[in-house]
Amino acid sequence: MMGCDIVDDMISNNAISAWEGIRMARLSLLGPLDAPLPQALELLPHSISRYDDLKECMSHLEGVDVVLVDCHDEPAKAREACLRLSCHERRVPVLLLVGSDTLSVISPDWGMDDFLCDSATPSEAETRLRCLFTIQVTNQLVAGPFTVDEDGYTASVGDKDLDLTYTEFELLKYLVGHPGRVLTRDLLLSDVWGYDYYGGTRTVDVHIRRLRAKVGPEYEGHIQTVRSVGYRFQAER
């Protein structure tokens, strides 16, 4: 990997030809369109497409190397974006952009792969991006006794194969992919059934009940109800 001092020398000398040794990446930035980029990213040669709508951003993930999520003004909105991007079928690494005033509120359970502070140098930004480029997204989720194979569309618990409908499989995959997190009914409805689904949240309850019945009494306790909020999957009991 190119040393930090070399990358910073490129910046200070404004030597465009020196970027030939750096991989040109495609980045998507989710956040206010008029928000300034961290200077470190502005000085790197990567292509950045900007979106202020999560749905639009998620519909343009083909060929994107990393999604940047702006966490400066609306941390709650950034958290929701990270969670949804982390379980999207076209999984792309997520880099959260934070300022000194929002650094204290972020948490690993948001689902991002890394974060970048405004104070970062171009060399640090490039190093973090390069690490994300190498992420190998696994197509098998394992949490406690549960295994979900996204490629084969199969799921098992313990030594028992589960006979699931398409929606039940997608719901279990989402739950297993977010262990320990409280997932609201609205979030599950949006991310599992889709933005355009017009059914009510009662649909979520019905499918959770069916899913618990299929995993059986030995394992149904892993899918916990959070009263008046939604559900939480616990890998260990």
Domain shared by 68 and 175, yes or no: no
| In a shared domain, residues 100 and 156 | no
**Domain stop point among 98, 133, 168:** 133
**pLDDT at res. 137:** 57
* Number of domains the chain contains: 2
Last residue of a domain, one of 118, 133, 148: 133
* Residue that finishes a domain, picked among 115, 133, 151: 133
Residue 14 has what pLDDT? 44
- Whether residue 102 sits in one domain with residue 17: yes
CATH of the domain at 176: 1.10.10.10
pLDDT on residue 23? 66
Domain extent for 190:
140-233
- Cβ count within 10 A of residue 106: 17
pLDDT of residue 15: 36
Distance CA 26, CA 51 (A): 14
Same domain as 15, residue 83: yes
Shared domain check, 105 and 14: yes
Q: Please list the helix, strand and coil fractions of the chain in percent, rounded to the nearest 5, in that order.
A: 40, 20, 40
CATH classification of the domain holding 102: 3.40.50.2300
Domain co-membership, 103 together with 182: no
10 and 127 co-located in one domain: yes
What is the Cα–Cα distance from 106 to 119, expressed in whole angstroms?
Answer: 17
29 and 114 housed in the same domain: yes
Q: Do 28 and 119 belong to one domain?
A: yes
Q: What is the chain's pLDDT, residue by residue, as a tens digit (237 residues)? A: 444 444 444 444 443 334 445 668 899 999 999 888 888 898 898 999 999 999 999 999 988 999 999 999 899 999 989 988 887 777 789 999 999 888 889 988 788 899 999 999 999 999 999 888 876 555 678 888 999 998 889 999 999 999 999 999 999 999 998 888 899 999 898 888 886 666 678 899 999 999 999 999 999 999 999 999 999 999 887
